[in-house]
């Protein structure tokens, strides 16, 4: 199946969706990015173009390849434009109702009964999304990591209905076509990486919340004392504090373990719109220029 995948769709043109679209386009695939409207689609195009330009400036990509990648990517505000896609990857906000709605719509729009519908969810059940369609055997989790063009890992997450053929296809696609390293996970909240990572981030947030140490000292301690490339609060800011909170809520809802519960400080920061790098302020402040 995967050797025939040349037409890919991505629903959502934010940080993750744009990154997924970029790696698909750079791999030579006919790529369509769908956003909520034409204005958001133009913003998604600007996001991909800026990322490609950064790759050129850093010597990771030549200018002709960047130009060609952007040229083979179409940006649209209509899901109907995904009708001929062989693989569609959903990468919208971590909201179960919104994701379920997208999958139900894609099920009616996608023409090829053999097409695969994948979700980039960080923590929501793949089964729930599959059951919103008539093709649960073709629904799978395909979880990339931010920034997608840089980080080599993809988690493939299977529900109880996902077929072996679908798993084989997406694993081959992610590894052979996109050049990613694939690990498998069962359909449990957080999968492999976030089930381990998020309790660590929440512990750092609780430490800052209690006044035990400053955000700067917590991050410096883990960077310089444990050789982590980025401290936990800087990493939370990079991920987005709203995303961290959403993953924590999903983990807590599934396992009911106190270590997964989002701390009050995190909840207040999300309510205040202090989401990290993307808003210019989280546990640290960032230049938005």
What is d(CA 204, CA 248) in angstroms, rounded to the nearest whole number? Answer: 13
Report CA 171 to chain centroid distance, whole Å.
17
State the virtual CA torsion across 272, 278, 284, 289 in degrees, nearest 10.
Answer: -120
- Cβ neighbours around 58 below 10 Å, total: 8
Angle between helices 15-26 and 38-57 (to 10 degrees): 60
CA dist., res. 209 & res. 51, Å (int): 34
Return left, alpha or beta for 26; rule: phi > 0 is left, psi -120 to 50 is alpha, else beta. Answer: alpha
Structure-token match 């993307």, residue found? 278
Q: Which tokens is 41 given?
A: 């689609």
The token pair that represents 215 in the structure block: 């955000």
- Enzyme catalytic residues: 122, 143, 155, 194
Alpha helices in 175-214 (DSSP H): 193-210
250/248 Cα distance (integer angstroms)? 5
Q: Phi and psi for 184 in degrees, rounded to 5?
A: -100, 150
Phi, psi of 5 (to 5 degrees): -80, 110
Nearest-angstrom CA–CA distance, 44 and 49: 9
Residue 256 CB neighbours (<10 A): 9
């Amino acid at each position: 199946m995967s050797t025939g995948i040349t037409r890919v769709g991505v629903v959502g043109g934010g940080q993750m969706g744009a990154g997924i679209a970029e790696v698909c386009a750079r791999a030579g695939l006919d790529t369509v990015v769908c956003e909520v409207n034409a204005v958001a689609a133009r913003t998604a195009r600007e996001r991909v173009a800026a990322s490609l330009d950064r790759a050129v400036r850093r010597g990771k990509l030549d200018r002709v390849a960047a130009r060609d990648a952007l040229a083979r990517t179409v940006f649209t505000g209509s899901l109907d434009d995904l009708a001929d896609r062989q693989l569609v990857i959903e990468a919208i906000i971590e909201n179960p109702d919104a994701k379920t709605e997208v999958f139900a719509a894609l099920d009616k729009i996608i023409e090829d009964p053999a097409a695969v519908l994948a979700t980039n969810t960080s923590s929501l059940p793949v089964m729930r999304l599959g059951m919103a369609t008539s093709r649960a055997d073709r629904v799978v989790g395909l979880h990339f990591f931010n920034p997608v063009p840089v980080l080599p890992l993809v988690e493939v997450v299977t529900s109880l209905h996902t077929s072996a053929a679908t798993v084989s296809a997406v694993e081959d696609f992610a590894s052979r076509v996109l050049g990613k390293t694939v690990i498998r996970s069962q359909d449990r909240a957080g999968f492999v990486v976030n089930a381990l990572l998020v309790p660590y981030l929440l512990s750092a947030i609780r430490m800052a919340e209690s006044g035990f140490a400053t955000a700067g000292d917590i991050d410096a301690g883990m960077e310089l004392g444990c050789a982590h490339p980025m401290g936990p609060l800087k990493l939370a800011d990079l991920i987005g504090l709203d995303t961290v909170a959403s993953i924590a809520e999903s983990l807590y809802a599934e396992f009911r373990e106190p270590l997964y519960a989002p701390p009050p400080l995190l909840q207040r920061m999300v309510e205040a719109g202090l989401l990290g790098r993307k808003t210019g302020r989280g546990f640290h402040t960032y230049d938005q220029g």
